Amino acid sequence: MKQNTYILTITNHNPLGRRGITSDIKTFEAHSLSVHTSLTILNGIFLKHCEWISVEVIFKQIETLFERLNSCC
């Protein structure tokens, strides 16, 4: 049985796709997993707001992803 390789990125969300989760997913292509650390509101010139995700929620995201990987791979 072939075992898949996955890459985990833990970073912020940038809605323009130039940095953060969206950029990482473009780079990793097929086997990427992502965990958000913040949500940003920006327009390419100004950062209007940043909402940080709590450490507890970040760990819950990671734990949930790993549970899925351990059950299927």
Residue extents of the structural domains in the chain: 7-72
Q: In terms of DSSP H, where are the helices of 1-73?
A: 20-28, 55-72
> Whole-prediction pTM value?
0.62
What counts of helices (H) and strands (E) characterise the chain? 2, 3
Structure confidence at residue 30 (pLDDT): 61
Q: Which two tokens stand for residue 68?
A: 């899925």
Q: Which two tokens stand for residue 55?
A: 């450490």
- For 27-55, the pLDDT digits (tens) are 776 667 778 888 888 887 888 999 999 99
